[in-house]
Amino acid sequence: MDEKAKYAYGLDIGCGTGQSALALTHFCEKVMAIDPSKAMLKNAISNNQIEYRHCNGQDLDFRPNIFDIIAFAGSLYYAKSKHLLAEVVKVAKPNAKVIIYDFEILLNPTLIALDVTPPSKQQLAYDYTVDFSGLESQNLQLQNKVQEEMAFALSLENLSHLLLADNDHYTLLAGKFGEADLFEKLIDRLQEMAGSDRLQIGGLIYYTLYSSS
């Protein structure tokens, strides 16, 4: 998608607390952000370009041919269905962009450096590459599908939070270091590894672009 392009109206499906909707405001004059979680919406970021609305995750209760961009930021895995695809086609303008993207932080090298065996792929149910493939629609054409690597520096505190936020990782790390003061123990061990207060981490960006007809 052209980073300089500007659109009138965008739809963010599965907006959570609004981070993805906020990103969409750089491309759109107005953004409708929807999510099935009232708790998420209650804590959503306030922005005068964004309108938040509760939804059931499948029905898009908007008039036909209204949105220039429709985005799924890490949300399609939980909502993919023929019905949702039909709803997306219904509310998309002709030639609208439908964008599906996700981001995976590659924590396995850090776990291995901590002498912890990462969970196998079979244990991980989530699919970062999910798109609308397998669901037939003549009104949505695949334009591009990309997977890109990137690297960035994380503070040891943020990295520790990420490692412990995953239940499988927490169990493995607690088994290695013990549950008592696990967060502090993890930061100390990462400090020994990094020799500084930040550590370089890899990531993968998954991006699929469709165009409506």
pLDDT tens column, 57-90? 899 999 999 999 999 999 999 999 999 999 999 9
Confidence tier at 2 by pLDDT (50, 70, 90): low
Q: Where are the alpha helices (DSSP H) in the chain?
A: 19-24, 38-42, 76-79, 82-91, 108-113, 156-165, 167-177, 182-194
Percent of the chain with pLDDT over 90: 90
Q: How far is CA 192 from CA 32, 187, 199, in A?
A: 46, 9, 11
- Would you tell me the crossing angle of helices 167-177 and 156-165 to the nearest 10 degrees? 110
Give the pLDDT band (50/70/90) at residue 167.
confident
Backbone CA torsion sign across 38, 39, 40, 42:
positive
The whole-model pTM stands at 0.85
